[in-house]
């Protein structure tokens, strides 16, 4: 069989100087600080989904999202694919959402907060250090 169930998602690293935008996720399945992101909606492009998710979760509009990596893993329903975007240019005012509080953190400050599992693996891909 060549057909399988695939879930398409994105994760977006927004950087401003030496600070990274992180969200303290409150969902039970993946709690802690991570990069904003979410699911690709039907009929939506991968890039459009990343821009929309960041806007919904942070109030910011990415103006230069770059695809820097793709990760995949298996879930009960099939394949789970995460498109990793990096961004340094954005507009808007930062605000938190129902998904969790957002804020800017340096790598040093990240050592003192509760990060999601595999956070630094994602950061390595975002920064090309894999």
pLDDT tens per residue, range 71-106? 998 988 889 999 999 999 999 999 999 989 999 999
pLDDT score, position 129: 66
Strands 78-87 and 6-16: parallel
pLDDT score, position 86: 96
What is the C-alpha to C-alpha distance for residues 111 and 47, in angstroms, rounded to an integer?
A: 30
pLDDT score, position 73: 87
pLDDT score, position 120: 87
Strands 19-25 and 100-105: antiparallel
Global confidence as pTM: 0.90
Which residue's entry shows tokens 């090309």?
Answer: 128
pLDDT score, position 4: 86
Half-sphere exposure of 1 (CA within 13 A, CB side): 3
Rg of the chain on CA atoms, in Å: 14
Burial group, residue 106, by CB count within 10 angstroms (0-12, 13-18, 19+): exposed
Sign for the pseudo-dihedral over CA of 66, 93, 54, 17: positive
3-state SS track over 69-129? EEEEEEECCEEEEEEEEEECCEEECCCCECCEEEEEECHHHHCCCCECCCHHHHHHHHCCC
Write down the architecture of domain 6-126 according to CATH.
Alpha-Beta Complex (3.90)
pLDDT score, position 126: 87
Low pLDDT (below 70) residues in the chain: 1, 129-130
């Amino acid at each position: 069989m060549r057909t399988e169930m695939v879930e398409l998602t994105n994760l977006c690293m927004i950087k401003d100087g030496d600070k990274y935008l992180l969200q303290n996720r409150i969902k039970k399945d993946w709690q802690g600080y991570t990069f904003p992101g979410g699911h690709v909606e039907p009929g939506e492009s991968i890039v459009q989904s990343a821009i929309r998710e960041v806007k919904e979760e942070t109030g910011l509009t990415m103006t230069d999202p770059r695809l820097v990596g793709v990760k995949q893993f298996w879930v009960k329903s099939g394949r789970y694919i995460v498109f990793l975007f990096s961004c340094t240019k954005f507009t808007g005012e930062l605000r938190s959402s129902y998904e969790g509080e957002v804020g800017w953190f340096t790598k040093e400050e990240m050592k003192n907060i509760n990060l999601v599992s595999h956070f630094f693996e994602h950061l390595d891909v975002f920064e090309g250090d894999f």
